[in-house]
Amino acid sequence: MSSMPSFSITPNILLAAFAVLVVLRAILSLTPVVARSQGRSTHFAREGIDPFIYAAGAAWLLTMFVARTYYIPSGSMIPTLQVNDVLIVDKFEYRFHAPHEGDIVVFPPPIPTPDDFIKRVIGLPGDTFAISHGVVIRNGVPMTEPYIAQKPNYDLQIRDYGIYERDPMFDKTWRRLTPEEANIPPRAMWTAPNRIPPHCYFMMGDNRNDSEDSHAWGFAQDSGVFATGPRAGKHAGFTGRAVVIFWPVSHFRIL
Protein backbone atom coordinates (compact mmCIF):
# COMPACT_ATOMS: atom_id res chain seq x y z
CA MET A 1 0.00 0.00 0.00
CA SER A 2 1.06 3.56 -0.63
CA SER A 3 -1.79 5.72 0.58
CA MET A 4 -1.08 8.84 2.62
CA PRO A 5 -3.87 9.62 5.06
CA SER A 6 -3.46 13.00 6.70
CA PHE A 7 -2.17 13.09 10.24
CA SER A 8 -4.06 15.00 12.94
CA ILE A 9 -6.55 17.72 12.12
CA THR A 10 -7.78 18.03 8.54
CA PRO A 11 -8.78 21.30 6.83
CA ASN A 12 -12.45 20.25 6.95
CA ILE A 13 -12.30 19.75 10.72
CA LEU A 14 -10.62 23.14 11.17
CA LEU A 15 -13.22 24.82 8.97
CA ALA A 16 -16.03 23.21 10.99
CA ALA A 17 -14.42 24.34 14.26
CA PHE A 18 -14.02 27.85 12.86
CA ALA A 19 -17.71 27.95 11.86
CA VAL A 20 -18.86 26.72 15.28
CA LEU A 21 -16.75 29.35 17.06
CA VAL A 22 -18.05 32.12 14.81
CA VAL A 23 -21.67 31.08 15.46
CA LEU A 24 -21.03 30.91 19.20
CA ARG A 25 -19.39 34.35 19.10
CA ALA A 26 -22.43 35.74 17.25
CA ILE A 27 -24.83 34.23 19.80
CA LEU A 28 -22.90 35.79 22.67
CA SER A 29 -22.92 39.14 20.89
CA LEU A 30 -26.70 39.02 20.62
CA THR A 31 -27.29 37.92 24.22
CA PRO A 32 -28.96 40.75 26.16
CA VAL A 33 -27.17 41.98 29.27
CA VAL A 34 -29.58 41.45 32.16
CA ALA A 35 -27.30 42.05 35.14
CA ARG A 36 -23.92 43.63 35.64
CA SER A 37 -22.26 40.35 36.63
CA GLN A 38 -23.81 38.55 33.67
CA GLY A 39 -22.70 41.33 31.35
CA ARG A 40 -19.14 41.00 32.55
CA SER A 41 -19.10 37.20 32.13
CA THR A 42 -20.60 37.43 28.64
CA HIS A 43 -18.04 40.06 27.70
CA PHE A 44 -15.22 37.88 29.03
CA ALA A 45 -16.61 34.88 27.13
CA ARG A 46 -16.66 36.85 23.88
CA GLU A 47 -13.08 37.98 24.44
CA GLY A 48 -12.03 34.43 25.28
CA ILE A 49 -13.53 32.98 22.08
CA ASP A 50 -11.95 35.54 19.75
CA PRO A 51 -8.36 34.16 19.94
CA PHE A 52 -9.64 30.66 19.13
CA ILE A 53 -11.50 32.01 16.10
CA TYR A 54 -8.34 33.67 14.82
CA ALA A 55 -6.25 30.56 15.53
CA ALA A 56 -8.73 28.22 13.80
CA GLY A 57 -8.93 30.51 10.78
CA ALA A 58 -5.16 30.79 10.51
CA ALA A 59 -4.70 27.02 10.91
CA TRP A 60 -7.27 26.36 8.19
CA LEU A 61 -5.49 28.71 5.78
CA LEU A 62 -2.15 27.07 6.53
CA THR A 63 -3.37 23.50 6.03
CA MET A 64 -5.28 24.39 2.87
CA PHE A 65 -2.64 26.43 1.08
CA VAL A 66 0.79 26.26 2.75
CA ALA A 67 1.69 23.05 4.59
CA ARG A 68 0.15 19.99 6.16
CA THR A 69 1.24 16.98 8.20
CA TYR A 70 0.99 13.42 6.88
CA TYR A 71 1.99 10.07 8.28
CA ILE A 72 3.39 7.05 6.46
CA PRO A 73 1.11 3.97 6.69
CA SER A 74 3.15 1.53 4.58
CA GLY A 75 6.66 0.45 3.68
CA SER A 76 6.67 1.51 0.02
CA MET A 77 9.23 4.28 0.66
CA ILE A 78 11.59 2.31 2.94
CA PRO A 79 14.42 3.04 3.72
CA THR A 80 13.86 6.78 3.19
CA LEU A 81 10.54 6.85 5.05
CA GLN A 82 9.61 4.38 7.75
CA VAL A 83 6.12 3.21 8.68
CA ASN A 84 4.47 5.75 11.04
CA ASP A 85 6.90 8.55 10.22
CA VAL A 86 5.17 11.94 10.29
CA LEU A 87 6.05 14.46 7.57
CA ILE A 88 5.51 18.11 6.82
CA VAL A 89 4.38 18.53 3.22
CA ASP A 90 4.87 21.88 1.47
CA LYS A 91 1.67 22.56 -0.51
CA PHE A 92 2.86 25.95 -1.80
CA GLU A 93 6.08 25.23 -3.70
CA TYR A 94 4.59 23.69 -6.84
CA ARG A 95 2.54 26.80 -7.46
CA PHE A 96 5.81 28.33 -8.74
CA HIS A 97 7.61 25.46 -10.47
CA ALA A 98 7.16 21.88 -11.62
CA PRO A 99 8.49 18.94 -9.56
CA HIS A 100 12.17 18.11 -9.91
CA GLU A 101 13.72 14.69 -10.39
CA GLY A 102 14.26 13.18 -6.94
CA ASP A 103 11.48 15.11 -5.17
CA ILE A 104 9.37 13.09 -2.74
CA VAL A 105 5.83 14.05 -3.66
CA VAL A 106 2.32 13.56 -2.28
CA PHE A 107 -0.28 13.30 -5.04
CA PRO A 108 -3.58 11.69 -6.07
CA PRO A 109 -2.78 8.61 -8.20
CA PRO A 110 -4.71 7.53 -11.30
CA ILE A 111 -6.31 4.61 -9.45
CA PRO A 112 -9.23 4.65 -6.97
CA THR A 113 -8.07 5.38 -3.41
CA PRO A 114 -9.44 7.48 -0.55
CA ASP A 115 -6.02 8.97 0.16
CA ASP A 116 -3.06 10.49 -1.64
CA PHE A 117 0.07 8.48 -2.47
CA ILE A 118 3.68 9.40 -1.74
CA LYS A 119 6.45 8.49 -4.21
CA ARG A 120 9.70 9.82 -5.61
CA VAL A 121 9.78 11.63 -8.95
CA ILE A 122 12.07 9.56 -11.22
CA GLY A 123 11.06 10.48 -14.77
CA LEU A 124 10.12 13.97 -16.02
CA PRO A 125 8.15 15.14 -19.06
CA GLY A 126 10.27 14.74 -22.20
CA ASP A 127 12.62 12.13 -20.69
CA THR A 128 13.45 8.81 -22.27
CA PHE A 129 13.08 6.13 -19.61
CA ALA A 130 13.81 2.44 -19.11
CA ILE A 131 14.68 -0.10 -16.43
CA SER A 132 17.12 -2.84 -17.39
CA HIS A 133 18.66 -5.47 -15.08
CA GLY A 134 17.56 -3.48 -12.05
CA VAL A 135 19.05 -0.17 -13.21
CA VAL A 136 16.95 2.88 -14.05
CA ILE A 137 18.16 4.51 -17.28
CA ARG A 138 17.00 8.10 -17.77
CA ASN A 139 17.89 9.94 -20.97
CA GLY A 140 20.36 7.19 -21.78
CA VAL A 141 22.27 7.53 -18.49
CA PRO A 142 22.10 4.89 -15.71
CA MET A 143 20.93 6.53 -12.49
CA THR A 144 22.80 6.23 -9.20
CA GLU A 145 20.15 5.69 -6.52
CA PRO A 146 21.61 5.27 -3.02
CA TYR A 147 18.16 5.77 -1.47
CA ILE A 148 16.49 2.55 -2.68
CA ALA A 149 15.94 -0.60 -0.62
CA GLN A 150 16.71 -2.91 -3.53
CA LYS A 151 16.88 -2.84 -7.30
CA PRO A 152 13.59 -3.44 -9.16
CA ASN A 153 13.07 -7.06 -10.17
CA TYR A 154 11.38 -6.09 -13.44
CA ASP A 155 12.41 -4.54 -16.74
CA LEU A 156 10.50 -1.60 -18.18
CA GLN A 157 10.50 0.49 -21.33
CA ILE A 158 8.65 3.58 -22.46
CA ARG A 159 8.26 3.21 -26.22
CA ASP A 160 5.68 3.10 -29.01
CA TYR A 161 3.48 5.56 -27.05
CA GLY A 162 3.15 3.20 -24.10
CA ILE A 163 4.69 1.59 -21.00
CA TYR A 164 5.97 -1.98 -21.39
CA GLU A 165 7.01 -4.29 -18.54
CA ARG A 166 8.33 -7.80 -18.12
CA ASP A 167 9.82 -10.09 -15.48
CA PRO A 168 13.27 -10.92 -16.92
CA MET A 169 13.42 -14.18 -14.97
CA PHE A 170 10.30 -15.67 -16.54
CA ASP A 171 9.07 -13.52 -19.43
CA LYS A 172 10.64 -13.11 -22.84
CA THR A 173 7.76 -11.03 -24.15
CA TRP A 174 6.82 -7.53 -23.03
CA ARG A 175 3.39 -6.69 -21.60
CA ARG A 176 1.96 -3.29 -22.45
CA LEU A 177 -0.02 -1.52 -19.73
CA THR A 178 -3.56 -1.02 -20.99
CA PRO A 179 -5.57 2.22 -20.87
CA GLU A 180 -8.12 0.40 -18.71
CA GLU A 181 -5.60 -0.25 -15.92
CA ALA A 182 -3.17 2.65 -16.24
CA ASN A 183 -2.94 6.34 -17.08
CA ILE A 184 -1.42 6.24 -20.58
CA PRO A 185 -2.26 9.37 -22.61
CA PRO A 186 -3.42 8.83 -26.18
CA ARG A 187 -0.87 9.17 -28.98
CA ALA A 188 -1.91 12.74 -29.83
CA MET A 189 -0.71 13.90 -26.38
CA TRP A 190 2.85 12.56 -26.83
CA THR A 191 5.67 14.61 -28.37
CA ALA A 192 7.60 11.45 -29.29
CA PRO A 193 6.83 7.71 -29.06
CA ASN A 194 9.64 7.04 -26.56
CA ARG A 195 9.50 10.14 -24.34
CA ILE A 196 7.36 10.78 -21.27
CA PRO A 197 4.41 12.95 -22.40
CA PRO A 198 3.96 16.58 -21.35
CA HIS A 199 2.66 17.08 -17.77
CA CYS A 200 3.33 13.38 -17.01
CA TYR A 201 5.75 11.95 -14.42
CA PHE A 202 7.10 8.49 -13.71
CA MET A 203 6.80 7.92 -9.95
CA MET A 204 8.52 5.13 -7.98
CA GLY A 205 8.72 4.04 -4.37
CA ASP A 206 12.17 3.64 -2.85
CA ASN A 207 11.16 0.14 -1.75
CA ARG A 208 11.01 -0.80 -5.42
CA ASN A 209 9.68 -4.34 -5.17
CA ASP A 210 7.00 -3.52 -2.60
CA SER A 211 5.61 -0.37 -4.18
CA GLU A 212 2.48 0.17 -6.23
CA ASP A 213 3.70 2.93 -8.52
CA SER A 214 3.99 4.03 -12.15
CA HIS A 215 5.15 0.63 -13.33
CA ALA A 216 1.67 -0.63 -12.35
CA TRP A 217 -0.68 2.32 -12.91
CA GLY A 218 1.07 4.59 -15.40
CA PHE A 219 1.87 8.27 -15.18
CA ALA A 220 1.08 10.81 -12.48
CA GLN A 221 0.22 14.29 -13.78
CA ASP A 222 0.91 17.81 -12.56
CA SER A 223 -2.37 19.22 -13.89
CA GLY A 224 -5.48 18.55 -15.94
CA VAL A 225 -7.42 15.31 -15.72
CA PHE A 226 -6.25 11.73 -16.05
CA ALA A 227 -6.42 10.66 -19.68
CA THR A 228 -7.06 6.94 -19.13
CA GLY A 229 -7.19 4.35 -16.36
CA PRO A 230 -9.72 3.76 -13.57
CA ARG A 231 -9.88 7.50 -12.77
CA ALA A 232 -10.00 8.81 -16.33
CA GLY A 233 -11.51 12.29 -16.40
CA LYS A 234 -10.80 12.93 -12.71
CA HIS A 235 -8.70 15.84 -11.48
CA ALA A 236 -4.92 15.30 -11.48
CA GLY A 237 -2.18 17.31 -9.80
CA PHE A 238 0.40 17.30 -7.02
CA THR A 239 -0.61 17.93 -3.40
CA GLY A 240 2.88 18.97 -2.36
CA ARG A 241 6.50 18.06 -1.67
CA ALA A 242 7.58 16.26 1.50
CA VAL A 243 10.18 18.49 3.15
CA VAL A 244 10.80 17.27 6.70
CA ILE A 245 10.40 14.13 8.80
CA PHE A 246 9.57 15.58 12.21
CA TRP A 247 8.31 12.56 14.14
CA PRO A 248 9.58 10.45 15.75
CA VAL A 249 12.33 12.79 16.87
CA SER A 250 14.98 10.12 16.23
CA HIS A 251 14.03 10.16 12.51
CA PHE A 252 14.09 13.95 12.17
CA ARG A 253 15.71 15.15 8.95
CA ILE A 254 15.19 17.41 5.98
CA LEU A 255 14.24 15.51 2.83
Q: Which residues are catalytic?
A: 76, 119
Going by C-alpha positions, the residue among 164, 144, 166 that lies closest to residue 154 is 166
In contact, 60 and 66? CB cutoff 8 Å: no
Rounded Cα–Cα distance for residues 83 and 73 (Å) = 5
**Contacts of 113 by beta carbon, 8 Å cutoff, 6+ apart:** 3
Residue type, 217: W
Show the CA angle centred on residue 77, arms to residues 74 and 80, nearest 5°. 125
Rounded Cα–Cα distance for residues 173 and 165 (Å) = 9
The dihedrals phi and psi of 209, each to the nearest 5 degrees, come to -95, 10
**Contacts of 80 by beta carbon, 8 Å cutoff, 6+ apart:** 104, 120, 147, 206, 255
H or E element: which one contains 27?
helix 11-30
